[in-house]
């Protein structure tokens, strides 16, 4: 199923860049909304990712597709007066405007919430920021590896003491933030259908990161004063990572000490007298480091397959710390419809894209790979009342562009755009 029809009739204009905003618009698109994505001639920055980071030169761009599929693509220079006029014609009929503009940028171009709400009262204004619209960091530039991963404490709290913080992987905070924003848009859309009034909807990378870190943020405060990062030996041994004899790591996670500790300990062959003395968590804590060492040594003596079988039999939650390459071939992901295979004609290969995580009885929505910059420019403008002569004039002035034009970013990664 390429598309669900839940949001059929919703019209979305996506002027956002990078990852979070486009993710929001893409989810709306796969739920049935009609999404028009706007890019300048040079294309969105994410179109460069495969070229810059993965060295791709054959036109494949699965990451861009994963967050920008299910949209019509137009090339429009909105910084020009003529381009801004085209944007406003699109907004006249739109239900949702998705962007990621800081306040000063939006006001300068007249695309701030107050201005657009006065002009289009039913329009939902969905904006992604790094740090939100209030407080001392409002308006500050932010990406997910700064606002979501670092300032929230996540980067430091996931380290072993004295380790160097690791930069976040691309999209680690953008994807959930865009997903949360989509939830807000749908909620505002329900209200707009009832009242005829649009709403300002915003999500920040910082706020999304704090939401993801509710537990440590709460318990780092008084009177609890929990300390992060933790020495592995001081983490409850039932919620730990362990290394096996075949060099694999796995995660054990179970929270009921009185129920689960005796079963695990017996399975690992730990002395019955010691199990009896530590059957209650309060009794175990004074010797917890010694217990942890016994468990770690036991797991280190056998391969993961052995411990997987034991822990499965004991019904204790656990899982292998997989590599990303293992993930894409994991039957648990493939057979659960969490991945979607897409064929790329450029390279003649199949790549598995990741589906958005919410599924319905109606089916799992597919990603329709994104088209080139400006692939739908002519058709969309004609749909919005522009004559062939007006379209030709806008093209001659480079206000708009079309896929295949020499000055428009190409998926073939020509030397003009890949820095050669």
How confident is the model over 98-156, as pLDDT tens digits? 999 999 899 999 999 999 999 999 999 999 999 998 999 898 999 898 999 889 988 88
Q: How far is CA 8 from CA 244, 365, 377, in A?
A: 51, 14, 21
Q: How far apart are CA 87 and CA 75, in angstroms?
A: 11
Structure tokens at 25: 């618009």
The closest of 417, 395, 419 to 77, measured between CA atoms, is 395
d(Cα 71, Cα 33) in Å, to the nearest integer? 9
What secondary structure letter does DSSP report for 355?
Answer: P
Place of tokens 């859309």: 189
Q: Is 95 a catalytic residue?
A: no
* Residue of 60, 65, 112, 174 with catalytic role: 174
In degrees and rounded to multiples of 5, residue 108 shows phi and psi of -60, -35
Euclidean distance between CA atoms 334 and 321, whole angstroms: 18
b/e string for 65-100 if b means 16 or more Cβ within 10 A?
bbbbbbbbbbbbbbeeebbbebbbebbeebbbbbbb
Question: What pLDDT was estimated at residue 1?
Answer: 55
C-beta of residue 157 within 8 angstroms of C-beta of residue 229: yes
Please check whether residue 257 is in contact with residue 284, taking contact to mean a CB–CB distance below 8 angstroms. Answer: yes
**The pTM is what?**
0.92
Lookup result for tokens 């790329």 = 344
Closest CA to 258 of 282, 233, 239: 282
Structure token digits, residue 263:
């079963």
- According to DSSP, the β-strands at 34-39 and 349-354 are unpaired
- Dist CA 181 CA 20 (whole Å): 9
The residues of the chain scoring below 70 in pLDDT are: 1-2, 50, 55-58, 161-162, 411-420
**pLDDT one-digit tens code per residue, 6-23:** 999 999 999 999 999 999
């Amino acid at each position: 199923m390429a598309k669900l029809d839940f949001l059929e009739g919703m019209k979305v204009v996506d002027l956002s860049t990078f990852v979070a905003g486009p993710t929001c618009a893409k989810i709306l698109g796969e739920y049935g909304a009609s999404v028009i994505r706007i890019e300048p001639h040079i294309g969105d920055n994410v179109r460069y990712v495969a070229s810059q980071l993965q060295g791709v030169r054959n036109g494949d761009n699965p990451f861009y597709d994963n967050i920008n599929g299910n949209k019509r693509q137009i090339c429009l220079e909105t910084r020009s007066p003529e381009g801004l006029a085209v944007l406003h014609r699109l907004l006249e009929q739109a239900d949702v405007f998705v962007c990621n503009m800081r306040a000063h940028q939006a006001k300068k171009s007249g695309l701030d919430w107050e201005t657009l709400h006065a002009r289009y009262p039913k329009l939902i204004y969905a904006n992604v920021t790094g740090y939100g619209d209030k407080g001392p960091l409002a308006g500050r530039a932010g990406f997910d590896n700064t606002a979501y991963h670092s300032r929230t404490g996540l980067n430091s709290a996931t380290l072993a003491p004295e380790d160097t913080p690791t930069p976040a992987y691309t999209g680690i905070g953008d994807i959930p933030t865009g997903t949360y924003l989509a939830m807000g848009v749908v909620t505002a859309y329900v209200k707009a259908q009832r009242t005829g009034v649009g709403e300002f909807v915003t999500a920040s990378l910082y706020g999304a990161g704090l939401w993801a870190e509710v537990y440590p943020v709460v318990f780092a405060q008084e009177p609890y004063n929990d300390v992060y990062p933790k020495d592995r030996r001081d983490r409850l041994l039932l919620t730990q990572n362990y290394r096996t004899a075949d060099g694999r790591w796995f995660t054990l996670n179970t929270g009921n000490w009185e129920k689960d500790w005796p079963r695990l300990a017996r399975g690992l062959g730990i002395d019955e007298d010691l199990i009896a003395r530590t059957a209650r968590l309060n009794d175990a804590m004074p010797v917890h480091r010694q217990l942890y060492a016994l468990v770690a040594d036991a797991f280190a003596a056998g391969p993961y397959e052995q411990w997987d079988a034991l822990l499965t039999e004991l019904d204790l939650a656990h899982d292998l710390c997989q590599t990303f390459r293992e993930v894409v071939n994991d039957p648990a992901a493939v057979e659960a419809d969490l991945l979607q295979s897409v064929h790329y004609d450029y390279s003649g290969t199949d790549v598995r894209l990741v589906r958005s995580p919410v599924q319905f009885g109606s089916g799992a929505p597919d990603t329709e790979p994104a088209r080139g910059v400006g692939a739908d420019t002519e058709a969309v403008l004609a749909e919005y009342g522009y004559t062939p002569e007006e379209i030709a004039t806008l093209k001659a002035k480079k206000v708009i562009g079309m896929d295949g034009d020499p000055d428009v970013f190409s998926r073939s990664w020509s030397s003009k755009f890949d820095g050669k």
